[in-house]
Amino acid sequence: MIDAEEQEQTSRLESERSRLEENVLEHVRREKALETERDFCAAVLESADASILVLDSAGRVLQVNHAVELATGYSDDDLHGREFISALPIREAAAALGDGLRRLGEGAGAYPFESHWATSTGERLLVAGSLTPLRDAGGALSQVIVTASDITQRRALEDELRAMSLRDDMTGLYNRRGFALLAEQRLKESRRSGSILTIVYADVDHLKSINDAYGHNAGDIALGLCARALEATFRESDIVARIGGDEFVVLEEADAPSISTETMRLEQELDRRTAASGLRFPVSLTIGSAHSRPPHAISLDDLLQQADQFMYEHKHRAPPQAE
């Protein structure tokens, strides 16, 4: 009887020891899995090209990856424990990101952003990214992952390309497309305000003869002189463009009496620049103009056509130029 009881007790002890050993082994396996997962996450964090910051639920920086230091000059030690919105984002960007963090705390999902950050040297970066919430089992916000990429150079290139698509390569003035976009907007504004708009159409006289007699380089110089004279004559708020080979237009807020004065000023400015250039031939423009008077406003195409027609009439009334 005693042997049976001892055998049963021994069996229970063996079973308990096996269970404890299995629990220990399972705990070790879980710890190794967690360690592997932590190592993997750390590797991903450090190898990512994007700047990544880990924030606590109050928006304080817990950890940053190396890309943050490369982009901003701030290390993990520099940023640890600091409020994210006071460390990198500036002014209105900080306010917007602060609002994003507040929304995450209220249960919102990922919050995309585009904002300016300041580097350790005071340089201004344009970044785009997102705030991604991490929540506990109860749904409460525990951490926030900030991912961001520096798009400063990309945006500068986009702006440059956009400007190039609206500018004339030779003169730097707006081209036909740029003029149309800006002029249409100005016409809409004039219809609301009731202001009078004037289109000035200017054609370079005898440009073909200049090219034939002196070469296309001389013709290009003549076009450049006309462009600079137009810029000097009209206001910065006026839209000056080259819309064709020898055709320039200006859209301005003005009425008929001022056009004659501006035409005289333009002629004087162009004569002065031509004389200073040392060209062996005169450079001149023939001018025509048309007006949009709300509420009887007309379309941009009609304005251009009217101004072109008046310019054509002036050109053919003028005496021929001696060559």
- Say if residue 224's pLDDT is above 90: yes
**Percent of the chain at pLDDT above 70?**
85
pLDDT tens per residue, range 111-135: 999 999 999 999 999 999 999 999 9
Collapsed DSSP state (helix, strand, coil) of residue 93: helix
- Say if residue 229's pLDDT is above 80: yes
Give the H/E segment covering residue 63.
strand 61-64
Q: How far is CA 264 from CA 213, 226, 286, in A?
A: 28, 14, 11
CATH 3.30.70.270 fits 167-317, yes or no: yes
190-194, 252-256, 310-314: which is most confident: 310-314
Range with the lowest mean pLDDT among 15-24, 102-111, 134-143?
15-24
Phi/psi of residue 4, nearest 5 degrees? -65, -40
Delimit the domains of the chain by residue range.
Answer: 46-160, 167-317
What would the CATH number be for the domain defined by 46-160? 3.30.450.20
- Say if residue 272's pLDDT is above 60: yes
- pLDDT classification of 236: cutoffs 50, 70, 90: confident
- pLDDT classification of 322: cutoffs 50, 70, 90: very low
Q: What whole-number distance in Å separates Cα of residue 35 and Cα of residue 46?
A: 16
